[in-house]
Structure 1
Amino acid sequence: MAEVSQESKKVLDIQEIRKEFPVLDQEVNGKPLAYFDNAATTQKPLQVIQALEDYYKGYNANIHRGIHTLAERATKAFEETRVVLHQFLNSKEKEEIIFTKGTTDSINLVASSFGRRFINEGDEIIVSGLEHHSNIVPWQILAEDKKATIKVIPVLDNGELDYEAFEKLISKRTKMVAVNHASNSLGTINDLPRIIKAAHQVGAKVLVDGAQATAHIALDVQSLDCDFYAISAHKFYGPTGAGALYGKRELLEEMPPYQSGGEMIKDVSFSGTTFNDIPYKFEAGTPNIADIVALKEAVNFVNRLGKENIASHEMNLLKYAVEGLSTIKDLKLVGTAAEKVSVQSFIIDGVHHFDIGQMLDARGVAVRTGHHCTQPLMESFGIEGTVRASFAVYNTVSEIDSMIEGLGRIVKFMK
């Protein structure tokens, strides 16, 4: 389990926090909703919802070049989010924060732009066996185009990466290492300092998929010394369709534009075009203004509660859930790494994961079933998919009790 510092920890009032999430106050199939699909997307607090409403009701306008009052208000709110994310990730400067549609878009940006400039025939790209498809497929497409090679860090039986194998894979041909900070399927927290140090020793760059880490782990991209870090707002209480890419200035300045259009240019003529400075060079067209404005409130929500406090509560839930799941006959935990975020996958012998999900839903318990966009990982374990329960700050022990009771009934019924 991830360690939590004792210094700033305080006990959160979860019942008060739940009041900030209107969607939780409902019944599903006649039962109180227990929402354990947070690794797919978290629910949104009132302050995020209110920010969206305020934008559309009060100052809906396109940003940057407008000189009228609404445009200036919208631009100010939009750029405030960039500053907040710069502080949240501890980038060296706010210009290193590029707004995107989310983690997938951010990874595609780097694969397309960095790859076009720096990856050549015979070069190597390393990904891990824990990766989401969005951190595999863009590199496969790039490798095919550039005649580069993909290498894969193997996964141990407990769901941790084989770091000794990784250090044997890496070479002077390695140009990019793309790994997640935390696994969406298993919750495993990867040893990024070890990975980044080894990559940089051979001159390789490192992209981190931070989608699953953002809500749970204190982030400091300068301390990590990663070259790129990708996040999605909807994974940490923000809106869907918004996210960001952190990149080191020196790399972003050397990379060509990802998309072209308005905003990413300084001057355009039929004899040639001059591109804009970062971050705007990578933000072509009208962005998702409302959701990026609301993203600031998601960061504010996390900061108000404190990541240390959120992590402490979630680790208690994870420990409680693992203990409960371990009492169920024929249930096998999938992913038992020592360092995890609040995600637990499992299977039950003789019962299809899809059936388990449907039967839990009948009791108001929402879990995710399937391969979780990690088919290579599932294949390495010799399984088709899992049931995944993932916990957030608003979840409770009593909700976990409902899941455990439901699973017990499922086993009894199906057996």
Structure 2
Amino acid sequence: MEEIFSRSVDFLGSGRYASEQKRRLREICYCKVCIQDGYHSYFHEMPWLSMCPFHNVKLEKVFGEHKPSIAESRIAALELLLSESCMSWPHCQDHFPLVESDVAISIAAWVARARAAAASMSLGEVWCLGEDDSGGGVSLSQSLGQLRVLEVMPDLIEPLFIKQRGKWDLEVLEFPMYVKLELSRLKRLNIKFGDLYEFYKEVTSHAPKKPVFVERANHFVDVLRARHGSCTCRWALVPDPWEYKWAEVDPGSHFGWRSLCPFQIAIEELNVMRKMPEESTITRKKIENRILLSLVSRQMLDANLISYTKDAKVSAGGYLTIDESVARACIWRPQSPLTDLLNTAAEWEVDVTFDALKAWLDDIEHGAQPFNQDRPKYSLRLRETSSGMSLVKWTASPGDQQAS
């Protein structure tokens, strides 16, 4: 057996633009024409290819039997394939096209360029939306979609890639040097941007004058409520003894006061975005622990980012008391150099959240199961540049297309 090309034909080094998604451990993808000639390529093992770059035929799959190790299982499965398919096995045919394959060369070259473009785009990255969430990195579809925006894929190799879900649009907003200098100052005070961002949303969402991101979230909640109308959903998130689970229900039926339909789940997520816990019915990860918020608020106060209200309940040590609400007791200083950046990030987060929820609801209405979500990850990114800071927004549009 001869394996051609090396594992350098991958997206390692692309930062968070690379997908961690791989083929199943005992799954082997192969080209039936290559196998007949006694060849197997690393290209066939790449999860982002669906066609053989040498013969333009769809890749087949086989699963190795359980062996003491994954390597033994894969080797045994390949040997069986080759012995059954290649007439000259264990010898290879000598007419197999290697260097002459313009398609294979083009794939390798595009992967290298896309990898370099993603590495450049990741340079100086200080924050990503959802970076602390569990559930792994970006999906393979999202990775390919964004990489092909960063580096245009040649027409020659487009049909060989797996289908991606929708298209991606990239928007970048630059912020001046004084924003970078202010973030550097806060970094020296051990204030991370992610903590600052969540605290900013917590405080400003309860201000007398609602910020734009809250108004946007309010608008999107109204849109979902109008679309939902009288509930005819056929799925509901119902309580189990230990957790909630999705179950099919009769459309229009009342499935229990503790159960939620997909639209209620989507509205709940936007309620969390606009910081309305009184409407929330499911516990979500957010900054609500008052002891932690008391410590964070003192950091923000010392950094001159906020002030306390006159009637704020403050301990002798200068910390908010446990029974005090950070949202009620803290006032964000609007003259902060970071206000525009934080405002824009919050507005963009509402936008990408609504887009993802809308796509999820659309999928369910077209027959998809609600637990099979392919939610975008890291849709917002903040990075340092030579001239200041750069806020990046990735927006997905619905529909399937070739990963081209």
TM-score when scaled to structure 1?
Answer: 0.22
Compare CA radii of gyration and give the structure with the larger one.
2
